[in-house]
Chain A
C-alpha cells in the first residue's frame, strides 16, 4: 500500500506570494490533517478534513486555508506569505473512524519564504 505523498517536497517563495501544497492520503483513508513544524514552535496543528469537510481547525490566521476533494486528496493554501511561514508542512492521513486511529505522515513540504 502506498504511503502518504506530498508535493512538492521543496518550495521557495517570496513574501507576499501565495502557495498551494498537495497531499495524497493512503488509499482508503478519509481523514487528512495538516501540521506546521518550525524549530521555535514545534509541531502545530493547522486543520483536519474528513470526507471533504473541515472537522477541526488550529489557531492560525485566515491566510491558511485548505480543502479536501472527493478522492480524499487535500490541498493547503497559504496566501500573502510572510517570512515566518517558512516551515516544514506535514500532512497526515488516517481512516478517521476514531479519534484514536494512528495518523500516518507524509515526507513533508519544506517551504522557504524569502
Chain B
C-alpha cells in the first residue's frame, strides 16, 4: 500500500530565504506521480508542483522546485525566496498508476515565514 511520510515539526523560515520541506514515500509500483499542495488558513488546497516517477529532471514551477531522489524515495519541496504569503500547511501526495488508484496525502507540514 502506498504511504506518504512527512515528519518535520512546524517549520520556520526567514522571509527571502529558501526552505526545504521533506517528504518520503513508499510504494511497490514503478509508475507513480508525486504532488505538493499548499493549504492556507482559508482551507483551500492549492496545487503547487508535480513530479512523475519517470521524469528525469526535477520539476520546477516558479519559486517551487522538487528535489526528487527516486532511490531514496524522497520528494522534497524547495521554496526559494520565501514570502509572508507562503505561511501555510504543505501536503505531499502520491498517486500510483491506474484508473483505480487514489491520491494519498501525508500529514502535512506547517510553514511559518518570519518577516
Q: Are A107 and B44 in touch, CB under 8 angstroms?
A: yes
Q: Please tell me if B12 contacts chain A, counting CB pairs below 8 Å.
A: no
Q: Are A99 and B96 in touch, CB under 8 angstroms?
A: yes
Q: Interface residues of A toward B: which range?
A: 20 to 34
Q: Please tell me if A92 contacts chain B, counting CB pairs below 8 Å.
A: yes
Q: A99-B33, A100-B95, A102-B50 are in contact. Are A42 and B105 (CB under 8 A)?
A: yes
Closest to A102 in B: B47
Interface residues of B in 94-113 (CB under 8 A from A): 95-108
Chain B residues with CB under 8 Å of A102's CB are 35, 47, 50
Chain B residues with CB under 8 Å of A103's CB are 35, 47, 103
Provide the B38-56 mask, 1 if CB < 8 A to any CB of A, else 0.
0000111111001010000
Q: Are B44 and A99 in touch, CB under 8 angstroms?
A: no
Chain B residues with CB under 8 Å of A64's CB are none
Q: How far is the CA of A35 from the CA of B44 in the complex (A)?
A: 12
Q: Please tell me if A75 contacts chain B, counting CB pairs below 8 Å.
A: no
Q: Are A107 and B99 in touch, CB under 8 angstroms?
A: no
Q: Please tell me if A90 contacts chain B, counting CB pairs below 8 Å.
A: yes
Q: Please tell me if B91 contacts chain A, counting CB pairs below 8 Å.
A: yes
Q: Are B43 and A108 in touch, CB under 8 angstroms?
A: yes
Task: Please name 13 pairs of A and B residues whose Cβ atoms are closer than 8 Å in the assembled complex, sorted by A.
Answer: A35-B105, A42-B106, A45-B102, A55-B99, A56-B102, A88-B43, A92-B103, A100-B95, A103-B103, A105-B44, A105-B47, A106-B44, A108-B44
A residues near B (Cβ < 8 Å) are 33, 35, 42-43, 45, 48, 50, 55-56, 58, 88, 90, 92, 99-100, 102-108, 110
